[in-house]
Chain A
């Protein structure tokens, strides 16, 4: 078992005394973690809404869009960050470019599933009521696609919360910084607490998003991700 380097001291998994005096450290990391995640998911939504709608409108765009972001999605995050570092440096731009690239695939895919699931009858009815295409999209199709969009937002958010830890290697990381600290200092407490906090954050945010969905889309119940 790993232990403190020179002293005959066994490092406990969680040193509660140390933890109690270092709460601000975890609080700051948690805030950075949430900020990085929120920016990636919101940025992904801003990009994927027009992309997804365009791919739905013009089916010839569908496969190229899914293929390009599918390739990006396949690239391991550490490699994607490393490929960006020579151009965008170590820091926020590199991290967010990579994270947004990943969220776009999830969000576009779910947006397409949602738009495609709108029944033809409903579209015909909207047309018959005199909706122009844009109004039909905004007031009929997108609301009906909301459950699928929400499922995408949940998957993208939980995924991003996990991936943010890896940005510790490019100087950010949120809770990942503390995992990294635990690794290089051979110190269990920040490692274990940060890992548990990261999992807990993902699960709590996922539950919160389910709650938001229930309020915003009362007609959808439990469309699992």
Chain B
């Protein structure tokens, strides 16, 4: 019980809400590096996953990427990036982008691949060119899984960004890592609460975006889409 009351007091302390080590600043750092990594990762991964799914080629590659992605120890990847690029946000960005890519490739591949062949035939019969078919027929139908991939990546990136504090990064991980180093269990616990809340907020807000983007015609299978998504947990 004393842990929880100490943590409540920690949150009530105004000094923890301002300055370079305050919660607003740490939140901004955490969200910024995560958002940048997911955005760069999406720019790389989505075209690859969508193209592989659309052409139906290299399916084994797309699936094996998910297995290798799962096997990557995020901690090791971060520290190696740190040894290669030195201090600063570059190593963190590189490691987070690398970890963000596999879930997006696999899920968008599966999403495009699962578009009903009859529907694609019908679109061709109606005179859609290939690009129009991809953009106006296949992608809308694949939105649930494409978005599930982005959401999975984002939650993993937020989680891994916590570890970035080990290589001198900012974000909420600072409280956790410093809490461990100083054996300050109050700070440790408070930091863990913040990290957990941010991960859940990421999950919930991207689920809401997903719901908005899913075309009305296929909303009934929304839960099915979320459950078909390939799971990832690397941090």
**Interface residues in chain A, defined as those with a beta carbon under 8 Å from any beta carbon in chain B:** 1-2, 71, 73-80, 82-83, 85-87, 102, 105-106, 109, 155, 158-159, 161-163, 165-166, 168-169, 175-176, 179-180, 182-183, 186, 188, 191-192, 194-195, 198-199, 202-203, 206, 224-225
Are the C-beta atoms of B67 and A73 separated by less than 8 Å?
no
Residues of the B chain whose Cβ atoms lie less than 8 Å from the Cβ of A102? 233
Residues of the B chain whose Cβ atoms lie less than 8 Å from the Cβ of A2? 82-83, 86
| Residue in contact with A79 in the complex, picked from B66, B176, B227, CB distance below 8 Å | B176
Mask: chain B, 70-114; 1 = CB below 8 Å from A; 0 = not: 111111110110111010000000000000000000000000000
Complex CA gap A77/B233 in Å reads 9
Interface centre among A79, A109, A224 (most CB of B within 10 A): A79
Q: How far is the CB of B167 from chain A (nearest CB, A)?
A: 7
Are the C-beta atoms of A74 and B66 separated by less than 8 Å?
no
Q: Is B196 an interface residue (CB 8 A)?
A: yes
Residues of the A chain whose Cβ atoms lie less than 8 Å from the Cβ of B192? 78-80, 82-83
Interface class of chain B by DSSP: helix
Q: A1-B84, A78-B235, A83-B193 are in contact. Are A162 and B73 (CB under 8 A)?
A: yes
Residues of the A chain whose Cβ atoms lie less than 8 Å from the Cβ of B233? 73, 77, 102, 159, 162-163
Q: Is B37 an interface residue (CB 8 A)?
A: no
Complex CA gap A187/B129 in Å reads 56
Q: How far is the CB of A3 from chain B (nearest CB, A)?
A: 10
Residues of the A chain whose Cβ atoms lie less than 8 Å from the Cβ of B162? 76, 78-79
Are the C-beta atoms of B166 and A183 separated by less than 8 Å?
yes
Are the C-beta atoms of B189 and A82 separated by less than 8 Å?
yes
Are the C-beta atoms of B71 and A82 separated by less than 8 Å?
no
